[in-house]
Amino acid sequence: MVSMKGWILLLLWGTTSVLGQRILKPALTRVQIGQRTFSPLVMLSLESTRSSSRRGDPTFTYVRRTCNITCPMGHVNADCDTCMCEDATLHGKVSLEDGSPAADARVYLQAKKLKLLTMADNRGMFRIPGVCPDGKNTLKIKKAKYATATVTVPESNRRNLAIQVQLHRSGKPYVFRSPEDKARRVGQSVSLCCDARGSPAPDRYLWYHNGSLLDPSLYKYKNNLILKNLKREQSGEYFCKASSAGGSAKSQVAKLAVIGRQEAACDSQPQSHLIRLPHDCFQKTTNSFYYDVGKCPAKTCVGKLDKGLRCKDNVSYCCGVSKMETRDISCDGYTLPTKVIVECGCKICTETKILVRGRATAADNGEPLRFGHIYMGNKRVSMTGYKGTFSIHVPADMERLVLTFVDRLQKFVNTTKVLPFKENGGAVFHDIKLLRKKAPVTLESTETNMISLGEMEEDNPIAELEIPPNAFYRKNGEVYSGKVKASVTFLDPRNISTAPVTQSDLNFVDEEGDVFPLRTYGMFSVDFTDERGTESLNAEKVKVHLDAAQVKMPEHVQEMKLWSLNPETGLWEEEGDFNLERSTRRKREERTFLVGNMEIKERRLFNLDVPESRRCYVKVRAYRSERFLQSEQIQGVVISIINMEPEPGFSSNPRAWGRFDSVVTGPNGACVPAFCDEQNPEAYGAYILASMGGEELEAVPSAPKLNPTAIGVPQPYLNKLNYRRTDHEDSNIKKTAFSINMAKPSPNSPEENNGPIYAYENLSECEEAPYTAAHFRFYRIEGDRYDYNTVPFSEDDLMSWTDDYLAWWPKPMEFRACYIKVKINGPQEVNVRSRNMGGTHPRTIGKLYGIRDVRSIRDPQQRDVSAACLEFKCSGMLFDQDRVDRTLVKVIPQGNCRRVSVNSMLHEYLVNHLPMATNNDTSEYTMLAPLDPLGHNYGIYTVTDQDPRIAKEIALGRCFDGTSDGTSRIMKSDVGVGLTFTCSERSTTEQSIFQSQRNLGQQSPRESGRQSPRDSVRQSPRDSGRQSPGDLGQQSPRDSRWQSPRDSVRQSPRDSVRQSPRDSGRQSPEDLGQQSILVLPGQSPVYRRPPASRHNNQARIPMTGQRPTY
């Protein structure tokens, strides 16, 4: 570009020198006259040709510049890159996501190069003259931290047009669908897919195999990767990387298994899986009370494929049971049948449902979030109940569940949580803690306002907010003048009790798309409204003054950043940096502050965090008892970790927590992420705790001295980790957590490279670690109850379900739990057993489904009364859904007991729904279980749920309470009773079943195997068939607790029937014309029809799906 002042000189110089030609030619393309610049239509062409002169003198040629643009309206502009209409004017308005104006947004014209046309004013308004409304002009609107918006000027005959544009916050892509694990044979093909969204939308995908980039030009992929004619070497791990102008994000890793054409799809040999046998089933061959029934790991295998290449196979195949055999186990005086897996094979995967349940309550006093809204992204998916309970169905393709809990009454801060779940199906219970909003304070908008961020009275605030005068404005962009109600709620990490309230999971995505953790120094929620509290206000030019003295790790001072939470992804996004400043405040001492700038608009939750790269994983397993058997591991346990920053010099007195995270245990335990340090073992500490269904599990004790075998970690590494259970120094403290030093394992120390701490890059080693590798342990006190299933099934692993006629649960996606309440009159608590056999189905008549044992619980109000909630197998369809089976249930109390009454309504129901069972023995009770979901008026409690444990917990809570819609942890023995027995006192030399089992529980399986079956329990021959077959721990019945989210199940209309007080204690007339049934193992039932004179007016009511029997 040249100005007119030097025009003549430059032109003359250019005619006589080659250098002048090089300068003059590009300069003539832009000419400035005064304050205006334009492109000339006539250009001076300088050409040096040998033909014009022997000396090569330059010649001058005038060339008119051509323009190929044709304008349907208006004319071509001077730059020949667009059409102009002098009489047309475009009016526009640019707003942000919350509706506030996008002040200073820049408006560009899309041409050969972007042309800046104008900028939006403080109201977000702009005006552009000369833009033709021909439907071909494209505008781009840009603003810092927001994605570029593209809009086309619409075609119109009007000369004054108006458009509105909304800008969306710019962010990194978010992968919402990752590739799935698949298995193929050599020569077959596979399709792996990955989808991401974001603002701006991802426009590039890259695929990686075992960490190496696959050449895009060779594989021709986009968001889906197609591999044809597979070879063995193509097995391994695959993931994709989605990128946009906002950044990148990586998907989860998918495993592709490629096997030979004739190779077996699954290992046919079952893995070992031990079940505990009854107390009188000691096995001399194994010298233990355990029996190996086998197990098939439910991993992906190669099945029948359709011809199409799809992201998700139409049918999923898993390794499962292909052949089972019935084995008869010899016990003391009887034979116990069990099904044993003898062969595994590839079959269609068991279809399951994934659920997340929980309760949302206040962190300070437990007040429930009543009828709060639950959002998944921007969509409301559920509500909490009156007691704060909730239930969420997790979509099958969901890999990261992000829920936001919103209080309609605005008493609590909106809380966003990332909740782990069981990927193989079933329910996980989460206890959501909410932070109560601070009471608003009144600010004057025309003054400088300072708000402290800190909740520790004896310590200085961690930070302060500085709001300058006239910083508040309405959503329409107008400056607000007047009084402001400000509610600023701060989560102070110096208070360890606030750790469970942490929002999200404190992760962010870096520029390469990898997820990294954050170490928090506090997070705060901001809510500004007008004086009446009816209009939300924004604030600009707000400063955050972070006291550098509160940052105890010097390396964190330079890395401190300000973050805001994206409630849709649950990830934290960077808002800005901090700068060091020195100032004198309050106490007149000079202090150093980290100062950051922020603007409070659509996001109201902020975080003072530091990215932390010193990361490890902690291996944790949960068990059913203190025996810590591999076969008794529990899935679905929520393992939580609180990372601590110790006070310098006081490792046992942590100064503050820095991170809270949770993981759910799977078939091989859980790997919990945590901060760690290799140089200084005490740089980071951690508290680890476990819960299941709202109940806390116990950790292994550390006093009076460490037991490395029980803890699961060998010495000397255990001493280096400084393992301490919470009651180590005070026995009155709860036993449900332990603390350790997060000492990163040294690569030069062999004893530290086998767990329980794993370096971050060794996650796969942690996840695949064998049971024998070092790990920390929790155990659940099951209480005095024992379950035995003829067909083995783990209620923690729904994929272990087997399609067998003798399966206790006939449907893997619908679990129906049935209980009967048994009242015991007598001075002692007794064991009650239910023996469950096939009753009417021809494939199961006389065959054992399973056994349930439970210990009665003393009524706190009555000295000589106890009660038991006894599970029995519900009647209904079997797995083939062909016909129903009325389960033959025998209720047998232990000891010298006599049946005194049967619930009259239950008896009447059984009489009206024939056949009936023989009840000649008054020491027990036999019935064909009801088909209908009866209620508390019958003494029967039935709950159907998609998770067996949840169904049982809800039913137990109702049974304890004696109602059809309530719940209780205290046994109420006088209400909702089905059966009543009177039991006399047992001899002082006779042990109860659970007493004997407690004694056995103190021994390891190997030690217990040395005990002879004769010595295990002393019992009379009469009682030998009525005693408990299981060891149920040492917890007293009163300590048995479980959470019952009652809101998830509706009361049956039949349950609304009231029982009169007169009927509640009426004795059943056993000889009153009841039809009898006699069932022997392997035989069909023999029915005896009662005399017609006894029941001539009784009509049997056939049930749905039931065939009449005579």
Give pLDDT, residue 1099.
Answer: 33
Please write the tens of the pLDDT for every residue from 852-894: 989 999 888 888 899 999 999 999 999 888 889 999 999 999 8
The amino acid that residue 229 corresponds to is N
Give pLDDT, residue 65.
Answer: 55
What's the mean per-residue pLDDT of the chain? 79
Mean pLDDT of the 479-493 span: 91
3-class SS string, 554-590? HHHCCCCEEEEEECCCCEEEEEEECEEEEEEECCCEE
Q: Indicate the range of 205-219, 746-760, 862-876 predicted with least confidence.
A: 746-760
Return the CA Rg of the chain: 37
Asked if pLDDT for residue 1028 goes beyond 70, the answer is no
CB-based contacts of 794: which residues, under 8 Å, 6+ apart?
635, 800
Which tokens belong to 607? 């975080």
Give pLDDT, residue 308.
Answer: 76
Asked if 451 and 467 count as a contact pair (C-beta separation under 8 A), the reply is yes
Give pLDDT, residue 872.
Answer: 96
- What length is written for the chain? 1110
SS3 category, 758: strand
Q: Which of 608, 613, 618 lies closest to 578 in space, CA to CA? A: 608
Determine the straight-line distance between the first and last CA of the chain, rounded to whole angstroms. Answer: 107
Mean pLDDT of the 138-163 span: 88
Asked if pLDDT for residue 538 goes beyond 80, the answer is yes
Asked if 272 and 294 count as a contact pair (C-beta separation under 8 A), the reply is yes
Q: Which of 211, 201, 210, 205 lies closest to 193 in space, CA to CA? A: 205
- Whole-model pTM? 0.75
SS3 category, 22: helix
Neighbours of 640 (CB within 10 A): 18
Asked if pLDDT for residue 942 goes beyond 90, the answer is yes
CB burial class (10 A; 0-12, 13-18, 19+) of residue 439?
Answer: exposed
Asked if pLDDT for residue 700 goes beyond 90, the answer is yes
Q: Which residue has the higher pLDDT, 860 or 213?
A: 213
Asked if pLDDT for residue 24 goes beyond 80, the answer is no
Give pLDDT, residue 603.
Answer: 63
Give pLDDT, residue 773.
Answer: 94
Please write the tens of the pLDDT for every residue from 896-929: 999 999 999 999 999 999 888 888 899 999 999 9
Asked if pLDDT for residue 285 goes beyond 80, the answer is yes
CB-based contacts of 956: which residues, under 8 Å, 6+ apart?
819, 869, 941, 1042, 1044
Mean pLDDT of the 246-251 span: 91
Please write the tens of the pLDDT for every residue from 585-640: 554 456 677 777 777 776 677 887 777 778 899 999 999 888 898 888 888 899 99
CA angle 90/91/92 to nearest 5° reads 120
Q: Which residue has the higher pLDDT, 249 or 136?
A: 249
Instruction: Place 658 in a pLDDT band, splitting at 50, 70 and 90.
Output: confident
Give pLDDT, residue 817.
Answer: 94
Give pLDDT, residue 799.
Answer: 81
Give pLDDT, residue 119.
Answer: 92
Please write the tens of the pLDDT for every residue from 1030-1070: 333 333 333 333 333 333 333 333 333 333 333 333 333 33
Give pLDDT, residue 1050.
Answer: 35
Instruction: Place 930 in a pLDDT band, splitting at 50, 70 and 90.
Output: very high
CB burial class (10 A; 0-12, 13-18, 19+) of residue 928?
Answer: buried
C-alpha pair distances (Å), 804 with each of 713, 790, 884: 40, 10, 14
Please write the tens of the pLDDT for every residue from 377-435: 889 999 999 999 999 999 888 888 999 999 999 899 999 999 999 888 888 899 999 99
CA distance 695 to 781: 10
Q: Which of 304, 189, 186, 175 lies closest to 240 in space, CA to CA? A: 175
CA distance 276 to 279: 9
Please write the tens of the pLDDT for every residue from 51-61: 333 334 444 44
CA distance 677 to 532: 51
Which tokens belong to 19? 């250098």
